[in-house]
Each structure stands twice: as C-alpha cells, then as structure tokens.
Amino acid sequence: MSPLITPSELSGLAGATILDVRWKLGGPPGIESYREAHVPGAVFCDLDADLAAPAGAAGRHPLPSAERFQEAMRRLGVSDSRPVVVYDEADSTAAARAWWALRHFGHPDVRVLDGGLRAWISEDLPVAEGDQAAAPGDFVARPGGMPVLDAEQAAELAGDGVLLDARAAERYRGEVEQVDPVAGHIPGAVSAPTGENVDPAGRFHLPDFLRERFNTLGAVPGVRVGAYCGSGVTAAHEVLALEVAGIQAALYVGSWSNWVADPSRPVATG
C-alpha cells in the first residue's frame, strides 16, 4: 500500500482517524489555522507536544517515550483497528513526522494526505471550523516499527552507507544556521534537501522520479540508507519520500541538534 492518499480517496474512506498536523518552525501555533479550516472530522495533533519529547541534549524534537506517545494518540482517537490519515498545510513536512512516529510505534495503517489541506481545498471538498472532539482510542504503542539511528550509528552510516542531510543546501554547507548553535553537517553526509521531493504544489513526485533522485545520491539496492535534518522533522519527510520510492531508510531522530550538543563530534562544511 502506498503511504500516500489523495483527497478523493480520503473523501471516500470511512472510519479513518484524521490528524491535522500543521506546524511551522518558530510558529505561529498550528491550532489557530486548524480552527479556521480543517478536513471534516480531523483532530489537531500538536507536533511539539504529541510527537516529541521536551527539547534537550537529545535534540529539539527527540522521540517521546512509548507511554507518552500512546497517551497522546489515545487522546486524539487513534486505535489500532482504524486507519489513520495525517496531513498538514501542503508539503507533508510536519505530517511525515506523524506518519513516521505512528509507524515506529506500531500502527499498521497510516497514510499521508498528498498535498495536504491545500490539495483538499483545491478539489472543492468541504472544510470544517472550530475544534473537533475525539472519542478516546485504544492504540497500543509498540516501538521498533521503523529503524532509528543514534549519533554513533549515523556517523558509521555516513562512512559505509548513505546518510542523507534533508536540510536546505546552504545549511548543509554551513553558510547559514538560524536554529542550531553550530553550522555545517555530519562528515560524509550527502545533501538531499526535502524541497526536491515535492512539486511546487507540495505533492510528492512520482515513485520513479524519486527513485532516480535517490539512486543518483547513492541510495541504491544493497546500500544502507539513513536521513537526518535539524531536529528529526524534515528527515521524516525524507524517509517518507524514500518509502514512496521503494527504499527503506533509518531516521536519526536527534539529528543535527543532537549531534552538535556534544562538542567533541566532528563538523564538516562546504
């Protein structure tokens, strides 16, 4: 099954739990946009509070505990027996983090609305306003459904596999860094900005296009692949794009914000 779903497919899907995961680095909070307009039946999922643990040395968006994630998903109405569809404004950057987290914690049927709310509205489908209450779910979190990397494993993969840096190219090169205290990239990592995974409308390119893109970057059969970004959000988008292309990849959840928390770790630029 494709990890993506189209607006028309979602409009005909009965019984799904729908999560609105709109989020922007630095704000404003996505809940305000959700209250203005959302897919009917969707419940707002807070990326910072529901899909990550508090920021610290582990990174700006570290992986939450199974207990905390399970509690959040049950509050949002998630159950193992019902499919889950996640979406954001358009390009699936935030939605991909929800997709990845649910998959990692064992949910068997999670899909991303390709093109997000913008695609939904472009097809003249109805929207709702205000808050949507959810009946409590019974989701059971079982970690291990998606491969993860720690800092040591990411460094090893950069040497004997392919470690993709999902950030903008100028951040990879170390020319700018507006968020983390050190600029640059993990030595051996390959620049692969997530913006190149989608078209101008925010919809994912076709699988063959993505497969060729990642093959060109070294992600070919028989080679281990991983991804990181600033804090494990856009890297989840990279992992999603890789899955669309038929390539499995591990996520370095702590990403650059965890890497630079230890000053002894090497940093490359250029």
Which residues are designated catalytic? 229
- Cα–Cα distance measured from residue 267 to residue 259, given in angstroms and rounded to the nearest whole number: 9
Ranges of beta strands (E only) in 43-178 are: 43-44, 84-87, 110-113, 148-149, 162-165
- Cα–Cα distance measured from residue 229 to residue 259, given in angstroms and rounded to the nearest whole number: 10
- Cβ neighbors of 95 (< 8 A, separation 6 or more) are 21, 86, 87, 88, 112, 113, 116
- Cα–Cα distance measured from residue 239 to residue 210, given in angstroms and rounded to the nearest whole number: 12
Q: Give the sign of the dihedral formed by CA 222, CA 246, CA 185, CA 61.
A: negative
- Cα–Cα distance measured from residue 254 to residue 259, given in angstroms and rounded to the nearest whole number: 7
Select from 212, 211, 209 the least CA-distant residue to 245: 211
Q: Which pair of tokens denotes residue 33?
A: 């946009």
- Cα–Cα distance measured from residue 211 to residue 8, given in angstroms and rounded to the nearest whole number: 25
Q: Which pair of tokens denotes residue 85?
A: 């569809």
Q: Residue 19: which H helix or E strand, with range?
A: strand 17-20
Residue 41, CB half-sphere, CA atoms under 13 Å: how many?
15
Where do we find the tokens 């897919």?
39
